[in-house]
């Protein structure tokens, strides 16, 4: 019984560690928050909470397919630097990801 408890606890802790990466929402044709900081190798999950489709990209890093309302996109940032995230469909949508 104790072994099962410790295994379950380890799984919960591992899931908590995975959720430490950033989550960015899209609502009213805007990213929220507009600025996040993560460590190299971590990922950002973009969640479309809008009533519009979005196509998210960072020049030279990734370019997503269209994401419908309710869909997510998870992208890993493998290098340090400052990255401008944009939407092909809504050019005024911009945010910054700082990677340490």
Residue 49 has, within 13 A of its CA and on its CB side, a CA count of 13
Quick one: what percent of the chain has pLDDT higher than 90? 79
Phi then psi for 97, rounded to 5 degrees?
Answer: -115, 120
Look at residue 57 and tell me if it is in a domain: yes
In tens, the pLDDT along 5-51 reads: 334 434 433 444 444 489 999 999 999 999 999 999 999 999 999 99
Task: Write down the residue that tokens 């099962």 correspond to.
Answer: 4
Q: Say what the pTM is.
A: 0.78
Look at residue 86 and tell me if it is in a domain: yes
Phi then psi for 81, rounded to 5 degrees?
Answer: 145, -175
CA 22, distance to chain mean position in Å, is 6
**CATH number where 74 lies:** 2.60.40.420
Look at residue 85 and tell me if it is in a domain: yes
Number of structural domains the chain divides into: 1
């Amino acid at each position: 019984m104790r072994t099962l408890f410790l295994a379950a606890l380890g799984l919960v802790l591992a899931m908590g560690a995975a959720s430490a990466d950033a989550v960015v929402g899209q609502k009213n044709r805007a990213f929220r928050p507009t600025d996040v900081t993560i460590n190299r190798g971590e990922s950002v999950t973009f969640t479309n909470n809008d009533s519009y489709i979005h196509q998210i990209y960072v020049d030279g890093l990734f370019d997503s397919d269209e994401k419908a309302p309710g869909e997510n996109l998870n992208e890993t940032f493998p290098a340090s630097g400052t990255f401008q995230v944009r939407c092909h469909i809504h050019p005024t949508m911009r945010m910054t990801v700082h990677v340490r």
